[in-house]
Structure 1
Amino acid sequence: MEWSIQDIARLAGTTSRTLRHYDDVGLLKPSRTGSNGYRYYDQAALVRLQRILLLRELGLGLPAIAEVLEGQRDTTQALRTHLSWLREERHRLERRIQSVETTIHKLTRGEALMAEEILDGFDHSQHEQEVVERWGREAHDESTRKWAALSREAQRERMAEHERVAQALAEAHVRGEDVASDTVQSLVRRHYTWTSFFWTPNREAYINLGEMYVTDARFAAVYERHAEGAAGFIRDAMRVFAEKHLA
């Protein structure tokens, strides 16, 4: 089966203009173009569009989406991974909805609130297995201990520092700075220092972390919200830093 560009635009809740732009930038090519100039899309194109829309919902810009798609050639496996993320997010949202409903109910009735009920669904321990698989149990436990030892104010400042560095790197990307420039490398050193508070990566690990900023949609979304292409820029800058300074 195949669908016209008008059909796809209607079903996806987008516009023909957007789909033509995806074609122009090489993100989504039609399966064929008719003699009348109309674009048509087959099943494979439809599946690729689904992946694009899922990544767009995570906040990724088109350059980052292109890199993610390029890095994940196995479409079925990529969709399985994304489905897992969606199910985790659904479960987390369901818990948060229940938590907020319980809070409203108890506040309305003047009943005592339980901390476990109020904060249910806001923990991040569900990522433990993934962290252990990627970097090892020691790295996970070390970072968890260090984070737990911080005061709430110190935790907020730690995250604020990450946000400042990410924003500054994105701005450097927008200005057209070279990833090897002193300005950019000074920012990457701050990023490495921030990372090393939790876990000290060697050269290979730091380079791999940078790759994840592009190929893992969850990481890419964090950096792409500052500027399109920021994730790839930061990855390249991290590689320069690692190759120059890390063993």
Structure 2
Amino acid sequence: MIILYKVQEVAKIAGVSVRTLHHYDSIDLMKPSTKGSNRYRYYSDEDLKLLQQILFLKELDFSLKKIQEIIKNGYDAEYAMARHIELLEQKKFRIEQLIDNARATQQELSTGESLSNEQRFAAFSIRHTPDRIDLYQKPKVEVSVTNEIEDNKDEPALSPEKPAKEAENLEEIEREANRIYRAVATLMHLPPSAPAVQQEMVAYYHLLDRFYECSPNMFRNLGNLYANDSRFSRTIDQHGNGLSIYLKDAMHVHAESLQHA
């Protein structure tokens, strides 16, 4: 049984205005499934699913024009949801750092305890991924590349020299991240600044740079997040007890070297 919703019902469910829904119809972004003889608009559950995707993209600061391009350009909802989560996590991380910065500044104003200029502007230097349409274009993996990956499962799946189309494959990104975690876990008897450890940090930075457009400061702050947020540390520490803290220290060393390069 197909359930249809009037425009007022959709507006109430989604928390948008009727005028917004009319506008989406007029620009062919989201048209109702049907219009009655009375010219009333009627929306289906599939229409509401599309509206949810549109609202996610708006939340990520995409313009309506770019949202139109994304929706019309071979849109894959399942793939897009993974991108939504990644970009929202970046946005969340940046906002959390700005809140911490505001609290530190508030404390400075109330106690007179001075912040360094680096501390004062650290949160503002964290970049976020711009509204790039290409992030929502599902990568096409050639058969030959897929076969090569299957034939070389024991080899690192990603390195700075490999082409970007491989780096955009999330499974390969995850595989390389896990390889780095395992490698670093075997090096924890060395100081974080050891060349062998820093070699892995070079690989990790390049990996995150493709994923987050990472700056040295963001790399340092991500290290803090991995060590201090149990959602991340639990996963990382599965590769070695205390790895998340050690990884943070190693990431700090590499971030420092990049800033002084």
Could you state the TM-score of these two structures normalised by the residue count of structure 1?
Answer: 0.46
Task: Indicate the structure whose relative CO is greater, using CA pairs within 8 Å and at least 6 residues apart.
Answer: 1
Q: For the pair shown, which has the larger CA radius of gyration, 1 or 2? A: 2
Could you state the TM-score of these two structures normalised by the residue count of structure 2?
Answer: 0.44
